[in-house]
Every structure is written in C-alpha cells, then in structure tokens.
Amino acid sequence: MSEVLETENIIEKDDAAESEAVTETGTDTKTGNDAFFGNDTVTEAATVTEAATVTEAATVTESDSDSDTETEAAPEAPKDMVIRVRDLYKVYRTGETVVKALNGVSFDIDRGVFCSVVGASGSGKSTLLNMLAGLEPATKGEIVIAGQHIENMNESQLVTFRREHVGFIFQSYNLMPTMSSVENVALPLAFRGMDKKTRNRKAEEMLELVGLGRYKANLPSQMSGGQQQRVGIARALVLDPEIVFADEPTGNLDSKTSEEVMNLMQKIVEEKHQTLIMVTHDDHLASYADIMIRISDGKIIENIDNRKRDTNWIEYFR
C-alpha cells in the first residue's frame, strides 16, 4: 500500500512539471510503416521512381549524421546490455481520467536475449514496446538502448536510431499490398541507398532463410497469413538490426502457424545474436523466450529467466 501511495505521489508531483509529456488522448501514436521508416517516406517509396527513393535515402542519411553526434552515450551501461529501463512511467490523460499505462517499470536485457512481455489486455504491453522503440515519449524515466538515451532524442534522431538499430514485426504484417515479397523485403534497404541489384539479392536471401524461396514474386494477397508474416520477419531482419520488436506477431495466426513463426523468429535471432522483444497475451508463446516479463496494470509483477530454469533442471538430475 505504501508503495502505491509513493508511486501516486511521484506521478502527482511530476504531473505539473511535466504536463507536456503526459499524452492527451487523440495524440497519434506512430504505428506501422510510418514508424518504421519515418514520416511519409513509405508512401513516397511506393510511388516514386527508384532513383528518387535512393536519392531521398541518401539525403536522410546525410542530414541525420549531425544529430548522431549529439546523442548522449551512456558509458555506465555494461557492454553486453542492450536495453536498460529505469523507473519508466507513461500517463495518458483523457479529459478528467488519468491512466498510468506504465507505473514505474525497471529492467535490463542483455544482447542476444529473447524476451517476452506478457500480460492481460490493457496491462501496458504495447505502451512499453512503443516507449522502447521511441515511438512515443515517456512521461518520466530512463530508456537506454544500445548505449543511447532515447528519452532525450528528438524526432529526427529517433528516426535515425530506429533505422540503424531496430527492426519491427507487426501483428497485421504491414506489407505494401502492391509490392512482391522481394520488393517488400528490399524496401528498408532502399532507404540505406543500396543499389537495386544488391538489395534484391539480399532480400532473396532473407526470403530463402524464412522458407519462402518459391514465393519471391507473390503479392501479399497471394499468400497465407503465416507466409505474409514470414515476409514481415524477413523485412524486419534484412538490415540485421541489433534489436527486433514484435507486438503480438502471431495475433492473426492459428496456433500451429503461430508455433512455426515463433520457432522461426527464435532460430533467426539466435543465429544472428540479435535481441528480440516480443509482446504477447499468450503464456504458452511467451514461454518460448529466454526471459519472461509479466506486467499487470503497468507494473512488472514477475521477471522469469527460463534459461536458469533449464539449468536448474539439469542440476537437479546430476
């Protein structure tokens, strides 16, 4: 009870000072391709000529290079720690109603770890993922990703940060409907200014890796849900990001296909030593992860290390 009161005090006290950081309902959360690529570039990329797209990608890289140097490093974070969250709060205000979607969350994730965030609907899972990916500002708290304090970044720094470090896998796949599998997977590479031949080769390799070698020319509408999500995974991983965020990646799939997609994600991130943060409401799918963070009403109520559990079992039989 005293902890609850203390939390209330923190929030009430800070509300006045940081009222601009409290999100009013109606504020857009950036989702889907816009979040992934920034602004309206996706729509442009789909319609403009290849030359224009590449020019734009080159311009973005150039103009953002200054901001990189301004980004504060976090020298105190251990080298293999890829995510550090401290006392994270997110408060939404809808008229008179205040919702503490995140109510003082702290945790660390090491590089190469698969972490699931599990909890009931409305517990704050997507809010947490959006904060970690820099898609929404936190009300209060510290988020250090790959050595950078993202809570201090401006929008252009965040776009660069996401392009360089982060891959997203969405529940609704978010593929471009008029583009083939190869074109969809190659899209993030176009924003790196890569020539068409190289990016198509890389995209084809990724499609082979996710078992879709025969579906390179297919449009999303010509594939099953599971196949579309595998294209989504290939697209998220083609830039070889350090961190992959997935919000209910199997939410639209049946249980057998969900298991296949989980196994695939698990295999790829393990091979590439990437860090995967996956949100799910499903305990069974969450248990695939190395670390399970359970949240309820915006607070972490359990942080289970499944790797330790396995070790304990082995030791038990020794």
For residue 276, state whether it binds ligand ATP (rule: CB under 6 A): no
Q: Which stretch binds ligand ATP (CB under 6 A): 22-30, 141-149, 265-273, 303-311?
A: 22-30
For residue 148, state whether it binds Mg ion (rule: CB under 5 A): no
- Among 33, 103, 123, 160, indicate the residue that binds ligand ATP (CB under 6 A): 123
Within 167-226, which residues bind Mg ion (CB under 5 A)?
none
Q: Which stretch binds ligand ATP (CB under 6 A): 124-132, 192-200, 229-237, 264-272?
A: 124-132
Smallest gap from residue 249 Cβ to Mg ion (A): 12
For residue 119, state whether it binds ligand ATP (rule: CB under 6 A): yes
Smallest gap from residue 49 Cβ to ligand ATP (A): 37
For residues 106 to 135, the per-residue mask of contacts with Mg ion, x marking binding by CB under 5 A and - elsewhere, is --------------------x---------
- Among 11, 71, 103, 124, indicate the residue that binds ligand ATP (CB under 6 A): 124
Smallest gap from residue 281 Cβ to Mg ion (A): 8
- With CB under 5 to 8 Å by kind, the binding choice for 25 among Mg ion, ligand ATP, none is ligand ATP
Contact call for residues 105 and 295 (beta carbons, < 8 A): yes
- Among 22, 77, 91, 101, indicate the residue that binds ligand ATP (CB under 6 A): 101
All residues at 6 or more sequence positions from 41 whose CB lies less than 8 Å from its CB, including other chains: 56, 60, 191
For residue 122, state whether it binds ligand ATP (rule: CB under 6 A): yes
- Among 85, 99, 118, 246, indicate the residue that binds ligand ATP (CB under 6 A): 99
Smallest gap from residue 263 Cβ to Mg ion (A): 23
For residue 199, state whether it binds ligand ATP (rule: CB under 6 A): no
Smallest gap from residue 47 Cβ to ligand ATP (A): 30
Q: Which CB contacts under 8 angstroms, 24+ apart, belong to 25-33?
A: 25/92, 25/93, 25/94, 25/95, 29/130, 29/135, 29/136, 30/135, 30/136, 31/135, 31/170, 32/170, 32/172, 32/174, 33/174, 33/176
- Nearest Cα to 190, choosing from 239, 143, 121? 239
Contact call for residues 247 and 126 (beta carbons, < 8 A): yes
Strand, helix or coil for residue 23 = strand
CB closer to ligand ATP, 134 vs 220? 134
Longest CA span, the chain:
64
Contact call for residues 98 and 92 (beta carbons, < 8 A): yes
Instruction: Report the alpha-carbon angle 66-42-277, nearest 5.
Output: 75
CB closer to ligand ATP, 94 vs 311? 94
Q: Which CB contacts under 8 angstroms, 24+ apart, belong to 50-59?
A: 50/190, 50/196, 53/190, 53/191, 54/190, 54/193, 54/194, 54/195, 56/191, 57/190, 57/191, 57/192, 57/193, 58/193
Residues that bind ligand ATP (CB under 6 A): 23, 25, 29, 92, 94, 99, 101, 119, 121-127, 281
